[in-house]
Chain A
Amino acid sequence: MINKVLIANRGEIAARVIRTCKKMGIQTVAVYSEADQKAPFVALADESYLLGPPRVNESYLNTDKILQIAKRADVDAIHPGYGFLSENAVFAQKCQDEGLIFIGPAGEIMQKMGSKIAARKTMQQAGVPVVPGTEGGVASVEEALQIAKGIGYPIMLKASAGGGGIGMQVVQSDAELAKAFASNSKRAENFFGDGAMFMEKKLEHARHVEIQILADNDGNAVHLFERECSIQRRNQKVVEEAPSPFISEKTRKKMGETAVKAAKAIGYTNAGTIEFLVDENENFYFLEMNTRIQVEHAITEEITGLDIVEEQLNIANGKALTIDQDTLTIKGHAIEVRIYAEDPVTFYPSPGHITTMQAPTGDHIRNELAVTSDYDVTPFYDPMIGKLIVTGETRQEAISGLKTALESYHIDGIKTNIPMLKAVIDHDQFKAGNTTTAFVQEYYLPMIKTN
C-alpha cells in the first residue's frame, strides 16, 4: 500500500501530484534544488529535502541522492511527474530494486517506447499506422541524403531519444539536411546521451492529436478520448484542447480503439499517451508514446471528470480500473494554455524576478502554477511557469472564457507569452478550428510582423 510518496520533480506538476495525494490521505515528500528553495511546491509537501545545486545533473536527475532521500524519508513510492526521470527506465528499475513503487509503467516498456525508432517498429507490429520513414537509425549524413531521395522533402529529422523538441528539425533540401544532421545528432548526444537519428516524411497541414490511456495490472485498458495539441512553437505545445475541433466521432472511436489495442499489445500499465499526426482526410499515424503523465492531462480531467493522478496511484497500488469504456463520456470543452517565461515574439527565454503575479479565478477556471509574486524564475529549467485551463459547455464558450481570463492575467517583472496566447485564441482561424501544427508559422508570426 502506498502511504507516503516522494515526488521526484518540481514546479506545477509537483504541486499537482501533492494535491491529489493530500486528497487520498497519502503523505508527501518534496525534493528541491537550491534554485527552488522558495518554490510553492516545497512548502505544500509534508516534508521537503534539499537535493543540491540548481543544475539538473546535481539535483533533479541525481538518482542516487533521490533514492537516499526516499530511504531516509521512508516513502513507499516515487512519482516522477513529467520530464526529468519520468521516462528513465534505469531509474524505474532502481526504484524497484530498492523496494519502492515507481508510479508509471515497467522499465522495459518504458525502454521500448523511449527509443522512437524501436517504438515505431513495435507499433507497426501491433497494427498501428506509422508515418513513412526510416526503419532504423541513420548512421551518417551520406546515408541520410540517400534516404531523403526515397522519402522526398519536406522531411522531419528526429533524435531517437529526443523529447521536448530537442534534436528535431524540419528540413526542406539536401543542403539543409546535411547541415541539420550533424548538429542535431550532437545536440541529442549532449542532452540524452544518444545521438541516434531517424527520418520521417513531414506531413504538411497535419494536426497533433493524442489519446490518453489508462491501463491496470489486470489487463484492463481504457482511453480517455483525445487532446488536440497542434499549436506549438519550437516543436513544443502552447495551446491544447479537448476534444479536438476537427476529428469526427467515427475517427475518435477508431483512434481510441487503436490506442487501447496498442497499449494492450505492449503490456502497458499506468497512465500513458499515444501521440498521432492526423492529416486533412483524418488518416492518423503513430508519432510516439509518452509513458508518463503529461503537461496537458488537465484538459482530459476536465472533460471526463476523472483525476488522472488518482488513477495513477490506484494502478500503482495494484487496484483494477473502476471505469469502463462504455461509461466514459465527454462533457463540455476544455482549453489549456501554457504560460511561458519567454519573449512572445522571438520565443527566447526570459528568466528574472516576478514582482507581481495575479492569476484569474472563477467557476470554469483552473490554474496550475509554479510561481508566485516576488519570485525568481531561474534559467535552469523549462520556461513553463503555469497553466491556465478554462472549460465551457461548448468550444465557443471555452474560448470566450479563456479570452476573459487571459485579459485579467497579470505578471510583472519578466516577459511572458501571454500576448501570444491572446493573439492565437482571438485569431479567426483558431476560432474556426483550423489548428494545424503550422498555425504559428502560418498565422501568428506573419501577424506580429505586420503589427
Chain B
Amino acid sequence: MMEVKASMAGSVWKVTVKEGEQVQEDQDIVILESMKMEIPIGAEDEGTVKEIKVAEGDFVNEGDVIAIIE
C-alpha cells in the first residue's frame, strides 16, 4: 500500500484519476494549486487507486495524504 502525499499546502485544483483505476509510476493523481503555482502530485509506483481522500476545491497541508494506491 502506498500513500500519495501533498508536497505543498494548497487547494486541489483537479483530481485526474478515479477510485479503482489502474495507474502507472509518475502518473498524475491530483493537481494542487497554491499562490498561482500548479503542482501535479504523481504516483510513486504503479498500482490501483484504492481511495482518493480529497475532492476538487479541498485545502490540504504539506504532507497530508491525498490518495492511497495498492
A interface residue numbers (CB < 8 A to B): 164, 166, 187, 234, 341-343, 346, 348-352, 379-383
Contacts and interface: CB of A to CB of B under 8 A. Distances in A.
A383 B37 CA distance: 9
Nearest to A342: B35
Interface residues of B, number: 14
B45 interface: no
A120 to B, nearest CB: 25
Instruction: Give 9 nearest A-B pairs by CB, closest first.
Output: A349-B35, A348-B8, A379-B34, A383-B35, A349-B34, A379-B10, A351-B9, A382-B36, A349-B37
B7 interface: yes
A381 B36 contact: yes
Contacts of B9: 349-352, 379
A380 B13 CA distance: 12
Contact of B35 (A166, A346, A379): A379
13 contacts: A343-B8, A348-B7, A348-B34, A348-B37, A348-B62, A349-B34, A349-B37, A351-B9, A379-B11, A379-B33, A379-B34, A381-B35, A382-B36
A372 to B, nearest CB: 19
A351 B36 contact: no
A349 B38 contact: no
B39 interface: yes
Nearest to A348: B8
Contacts of B11: 379
A79 to B, nearest CB: 21
Contacts of B7: 346, 348
A382 B11 CA distance: 14
Interface in B32-49: 33-39
Contacts of B10: 349, 351, 379
Contacts of A341: 35
